[in-house]
Amino acid sequence: MNDDSLRRQLDELCRAINDHNYRYHVLDQPVVSDAEYDRLLSELRAIEEQHPEWVPPDSPTQRAGAQPSARFSKVRHPAPILSLGNAFSEADLRAWFERISRVDERVRKASFVAEPKLDGLSVVLHYADGLFVQGATRGNGEVGEDVTPNLRTLRSLPLRIPVDRSAPKPPADLFVRGEVFFTKADFEALNKRQAEEGGQIYQTARNTAAGTLRQLDPAITAARPLNLFAYNIVSAHGQAPTTQWATLELLRTLGFPVASESHVCKSMDEVLALYEQWKASRDELPYEVDGMVVKVDDLRLAEDLGFVGKDPRGAIAYKFPALEVTTSLQDIGVNVGRTGVLTPYAMLEAVEIGGVIVKQATLHNFDFIKDKDIRVGDRVLVKRAGDVIPYVIGPLLAARSGKEKKYVPPKTCPVCGQAVEHLAGEVAWYCVNAACPEQLVRNVEHFVAVLDVVGMGEKIVIQLIQAGLIKDAADIYSIKREDLLKLEGFADKKADNLIASIQATLTNRSLSWAITALGIRGVGDVVAQKLARKYHDLDALSKASATDIDDIEGIGPSIAQAIVDWFAKPTNRNVLKKLKKAGFWPVSQPPKKPSGAQPFAGLTFVVTGTLPAFSRKEARDFIEDLGGKVTDSVSAKTSYVVVGEDAGSKLERAKQLGVATLDEPALRKLAHKRK
C-alpha cells in the first residue's frame, strides 16, 4: 500500500472511530459492536505506530473517550480516568509482558492481579470524610457527568464508609473507581417487565445500564436494579495502598462490593491458565464478562512503566472472543422444513462470533421479522451465547441509511413454486404441496436420522433422490448395492456400509421410534412413546379413531387429528405397505417390569451441560430406570436439575426458580440414598 492511500485510510479510521465514540458515549446508540470498534482502533494504532508524524490532533487515540452530553453538570475528575489497551490472543498478552519487561526488568518477577472485565459503565465515586458526596460517569476521562442522585439509588453503593463502623477510617478525601452494570437475571427481569407493560425491549445490558444511569429522573433509575463493583482508588491524598491487591482488600473492608473472582497470579502462565478457566465458565457468572483485566500488582512499578498514548502500560484488558457482534444482513432466504413450514433465515456478512465464523442465522418466522422490523441491508446485532446457535437480536435503527428494504414474505414455496398457506391463528406458513421435493428430502432425512442410519446425511439423500433410487422413505430398503456403485462417490466400501446400516434398522428398533420416524406433525419421541404403549403396531395405530387417540393423556384433539389425517393419505398408506414388505415392522414390546427399586418415582429431572461419565442418553436411561421422569425444560415442577460442564440458561433458570441442582456424583448418591 502506498503512503497516500495509507494516509487516507488513517483519516477514514479517525473519522469513523470518532463517530462511533459519539454514538456510544453521548447518544448511547452504538452502531457497531465493541469487538468491531476495538478492531478499528487497533488498525488505527497500527498505522499511527508506523507513522507517528501523521497522528492528527483529533485522533481518537489521543483522548480517552468522547465529550459528555450537555444534559448533566460536568465534573472534573481528580486524576484522568484511564482507558486500557486490549489483547485478543495469548500472543498479544505475552507481547505486552515482553514489552513492559523490556521497559523495566522488575516486571519479570512481578505478580499480577486478574480481575473480571465487566460489561458495564465506569463511574467515579467521591467520599468526603466517609460520606458519599458525588458520583460521575467517566465521560472523556477528564470530565464526566454528575449522576449523583442516580448513583444513590444503587443498593450496593455504600453511602457512608466504612460500612462496618469498627473498620479503620478511610482517608478524608477518597475517589473510588467502579463499574455499574446489570446482572443477567436483573436485565432479563427488566425486559420481562417491559414486555408485560408493553414497553421497549432492551437489547444489550451495557447500553441499558448506561441509559439507566443517565436518566434525568432518579426514580426511573431506582426502579431498575443496577449493581456496582469497585476496583480502583483514583485518589486518596497519598493514603492509597501500594498494591492493586491491597486496594481491592481495602475497598472490600470499607464496604464496597468487589468482584470475588479477582485473583493474584504469580506469573504469566498462571494468568493464562486462569483466563482459560474464566473463559470456559463465563456463562455461569451472574453478570456479563467480556474479558480479564490484568494489572501489575505493584502500583508504584505500574506507575513507573508510564504510558503509551493514554493507556497505562501496567495494565491490559485481555478480551474474550466476542459473543455479540454487529454485521450486515445481506439478504433473507427461506427454508422449507419436513412439515412444509417455511422458515426465513438471515444471510449475513461473515463475522466471527465466539471463535467461529457465522454466515447464517435463523429468523424463526415471518412475524419475527415484522415485529423486530428487520430489513434487508440493515446492520443487525447477532448473538451467540452459551449455546451454539447464533440468532439475530434485532436491527440497529441508528445505523439505517434509508436504503434498507422491507422484507415481503414469499407467496409461493421457494422450492416447488406452489402457493403457500397459512392457518388462521397460526404464525407459520406452509407449503402444502405433498409432492414438494424439498419436503421429500427432509422427510427421508428425518426417517434415517431417527432410525440412526449412519452415512446418510443431506447430501446422500439428495443424491439418491436425484438418481431416482428413492421416492419415499420406505424406498431405502429397496436400494441395491449395484445401484449405489453407479453413483458418483460410491465405491465398494461406502456402498456396503450404507446397505449394512440400512439393514441394521430392521432389527432391534422399537415401535415408538418407528412412529417418530414417520414424521407426523406434532408427533415426536414423547408422543410416539405414548402411542406405542396403547397400539401394538402401525396397523393398529392406523385404524385408531381421533377420539380414541385423544383419550391418551398428553395428546389432545389436534395431534390426534394430525395422526388420523396422516394415515388417511394414500401416499402414506403406500409407505406403510412398503415398510411391512421390507420387513420393517416393529411391534410393541411388553412393558418392562420395573426391575428393582424405584427411588426416583415421582421426581422430574432436567439434564443440562456435559456430564463427566454419562452421555445425555445414558443419564436419561439411568434416571428413567429408577422411575424418574426426564424433561427438557426447567419449570417450577422440576425436582432437580442435573448440571454438567458448560451448563447454560437452564442452570440460570433453575437458580431463578429455586430448583435444586445436582452434579453427576450427587445424582448417584441421591439414587443410593432413596433406595
> Closest separation between CB of residue 95 and DNA, Å?
26
d(CA 392, CA 349): 13
Using CB under 7 A as the binding criterion, the count of chain residues that bind DNA stands at 61
Which 365-404 residues touch DNA, going by CB under 7 A?
Answer: 365, 367-368, 385-391
- Which residue, 151 or 606, has its beta carbon nearer to DNA? 606
From residue 325, give the alpha-carbon distance in Å to each of 20, 84, 391, 553, 642: 15, 21, 11, 45, 32
- Cβ-based neighbour number of residue 71 at 10 Å: 9
Residues 190-249 that bind DNA (CB under 7 A): none
**x/- binding map, residues 262-301, to DNA, per CB under 7 A?**
----------------------------------------
Angle between helices 437-450 and 511-518 (to 10 degrees): 160
Catalytic annotation present for 117: yes
CB of 446 to DNA, least distance (A): 7
Query: Long-range contacts of range 662-669, CB-CB < 8 Å, 24 or more positions apart?
Result: 663/611, 664/611, 664/612, 664/613, 664/614, 664/619, 667/619, 667/622, 667/623, 667/640, 667/642
DSSP H stretches of helix in 234-329: 244-254, 268-281, 299-305
Site for DNA in 486-515 (CB under 7 A): none
Q: Which of 282, 313, 442, 578 binds DNA (CB under 7 A)?
A: 442
The pairing of strands 263-265 and 112-118 is: antiparallel
Task: Give the Cα separation of 622 and 247 in Å (integer).
Answer: 50
Q: Looking at 257-358, list the stretches that DSSP marks H as alpha helix, in order from N- to C-terminal side.
A: 268-281, 299-305
Q: How far is the CB of 269 from DNA (least distance, A)?
A: 27
C-alpha cell read off for 503: 439393514
Residue 308 vs 552, nearer CB to DNA? 552
Among 276, 426, 452, 565, binds DNA (CB under 7 A): 426
Q: Among candidates 604, 658, 612, which has minimal Cα distance to 632?
A: 604
Is 620 a residue that touches DNA (CB under 7 A)? no
H-type alpha helices, 153-305 = 184-196, 205-213, 218-222, 244-254, 268-281, 299-305
Residue 611 Cβ vs DNA, minimum distance, rounded to whole Å: 14
User: Out of 75, 147, 251, 428, which residue is the one contacting DNA (CB under 7 A)?
Assistant: 428
Quote the CA–CA distance of 173 and 331 in Å, as a whole number: 57
Q: At what angle do helices 184-196 and 205-213 cross, to 10 degrees?
A: 80
**According to the binding rule CB under 7 A, does residue 140 interact with DNA?**
no
User: Cβ closer to DNA: 343 or 542?
Assistant: 343
> Given the complex with DNA, which of 101 and 649 has the nearer CB atom?
649
Minimum Å gap between C-beta 125 and DNA is 34
Cα diameter, the chain? 91
Residue 554 near DNA by CB under 7 A: yes
- Residues 165-184, interacting with DNA (CB under 7 A): none
In the complex, the smallest distance separating the C-beta of residue 340 from DNA, rounded to whole angstroms, is 7
Asked if 567 is part of the footprint of DNA (rule: CB under 7 A), the reply reads: no
Beta strands in 93-187 (DSSP E): 112-118, 121-128, 131-137, 143-145, 173-181
Binds DNA by CB under 7 A, chosen from 557, 583, 596, 665:
557
Taking CB under 7 A as the criterion, which residues in 318-357 touch DNA?
A: 335, 337-339, 341, 343, 345, 356-357
Q: Minimum distance from CB of 422 to DNA (Å)?
A: 9
- 556 binds DNA per the rule CB under 7 A: yes
Angle at 463 between CA 462 and CA 466, to 5 degrees: 85
Burial, 415: exposed, middle or buried (Cβ in 10 Å; 0-12, 13-18, 19+)?
middle
Phi first, then psi, for residue 178 (nearest 5°) are -150, 180
- Identified binder of DNA from the candidate list 560, 603, 607, 611, rule CB under 7 A: 560
Asked whether position 616 contacts DNA by CB under 7 A, the answer is: no
CA distance 81 to 143: 9
Choice between 162 and 409, CB closer to DNA: 409
Q: Applying CB under 7 A, which part among 65-73, 98-106, 150-158, 523-531 lies near DNA?
A: 523-531
Toward DNA, which CB reaches closer, 100 or 342? 342
- Asked whether the beta carbons of 121 and 139 are under 8 A apart, the reply is no
User: From the candidates 109, 117, 637, 673, which is the catalytic residue?
Assistant: 117
| Binding interface with DNA (CB under 7 A) | 335, 337-339, 341, 343, 345, 356-362, 364-365, 367-368, 385-391, 425-428, 442, 446, 519-528, 553-560, 604, 608, 631-633, 635-638, 648-650
Active site residues: 117
